[in-house]
Amino acid sequence: MRKFIVAGNWKMNTTPKEGKTLAKAVLKKAKLGKVKVIFGPPFTHLDKIQRLIKGRKGFATAAQNMHQADSGAYTGEISADMIRAIGTKYVIIGHSERRQYFKETNAILLAKTKKALENKRKVIFCCGESLGTREKGTHFQYVIRQLTSTIFKLSPEEFKDIIIAYEPIWAIGTGKTASPEQAQDMHFAIRAAVKKKMGEKLAEKVSILYGGSVKPANALEIFKQPDVDGGLVGGAALNADDFVKIIDAARKTDMGR
């Protein structure tokens, strides 16, 4: 059985105090069932949120980024070791905003992923095409190529700690979601590629999350798709009620599987 996951990517939002209030409200209201819920706060309060969820079954935290070196003269960066030390289990790697604004290449993303895995962290690895690529009709090749030059270079042993997040760039923060069919078609293609590279067992096991304007109003329809195993949620993760509703949609879908 695949793990159903709802991860909140808070991006550069919330002060430590606001973040704590937000996480507390979710902790209070959310019913998880077997769903895993991950908070991705900024580094300034990752430790605080990690302490808050301690002992709460089903909850975890994610760092939004990390550097690929062990330590050293990298002003402004955070290492895998630091993330590990505070007990944060997950790291988001390869978000389109990191690729676009911070020029993170596939080679850098693979190095980051390997470093995170070496440090026994699980990686939420993002992929997804731009609007131009989708309009050209080359989105399947594009996304599979992103994976071929990164996480498909891992050994099967390493790959088992990977979660894939498919996030079409044109749907991120735009209010425009992929249709359930568009999400399913891409998730199916990704799983088929995983099967070819890593074998059937890992393909069946890997959770593939959808990201891009997931909201309470569309979560259920997207989650119901057979190859969608949860969501990576940006904007709606900043509102406790919305995030709880999305978790609820995940729990209902997961129960029906």
Q: Which region among 62-70, 101-109, 234-242, 249-257 touches ligand PGA (by CB under 6 A)?
A: 234-242
Residue 77: CB minimum distance to ligand PGA, A: 21
End-to-end CA distance of the chain: 9
Nearer to ligand PGA, 83 or 236 (CB): 236
Pairwise CA distance, residues 25 & 238, whole Å: 11
Residue 31: CB minimum distance to ligand PGA, A: 22
HEC assignment per residue over 132-154: HHHHHCCHHHHHHHHHHCCHHHC
Nearer to ligand PGA, 12 or 73 (CB): 12
214 binds ligand PGA (CB under 6 A): yes
Residue 233: CB minimum distance to ligand PGA, A: 5
Contact 64, 93 (CB under 8 A): no
232 binds ligand PGA (CB under 6 A): yes
User: Given candidates 167, 242, 248, 254, which one binds ligand PGA under the rule CB under 6 A?
Assistant: 167
User: Given candidates 116, 227, 234, 240, which one binds ligand PGA under the rule CB under 6 A?
Assistant: 234
User: Given candidates 233, 240, 244, 250, which one binds ligand PGA under the rule CB under 6 A?
Assistant: 233
Is 167 catalytic? The answer is yes
What mask of x and - would describe binding to ligand PGA in positions 192 to 211, judged by CB under 6 A? -------------------x
User: Given candidates 65, 213, 218, 225, which one binds ligand PGA under the rule CB under 6 A?
Assistant: 213
User: Given candidates 172, 186, 240, 249, which one binds ligand PGA under the rule CB under 6 A?
Assistant: 172
Is 95 catalytic? The answer is yes
Residue 85: CB minimum distance to ligand PGA, A: 25
41 binds ligand PGA (CB under 6 A): no
212 binds ligand PGA (CB under 6 A): yes
From 45, 104, 167, 187, the catalytic residue: 167
Nearer to ligand PGA, 95 or 139 (CB): 95
DSSP string across the chain:
-PPPEEEEE--S---HHHHHHHHHHHHHH---TT-EEEEE--GGGHHHHHHHHTT-TTEEEEES---SSSSSS-TT---HHHHHHTT--EEEE--HHHHHHS---HHHHHHHHHHHHHTT-EEEEEE---HHHHHHT-HHHHHHHHHHTTGGGS-HHHHTTEEEEE--GGGTTTS-PPPHHHHHHHHHHHHHHHHHHH-HHHHHH--EEEESS--HHHHHHHHTSTT--EEEESGGGGSHHHHHHHHHHHHHHHHT-
Positions in the binding site for ligand PGA (CB under 6 A): 9, 167, 172-173, 211-214, 232-236
Which residues are part of the catalytic machinery? 95, 167
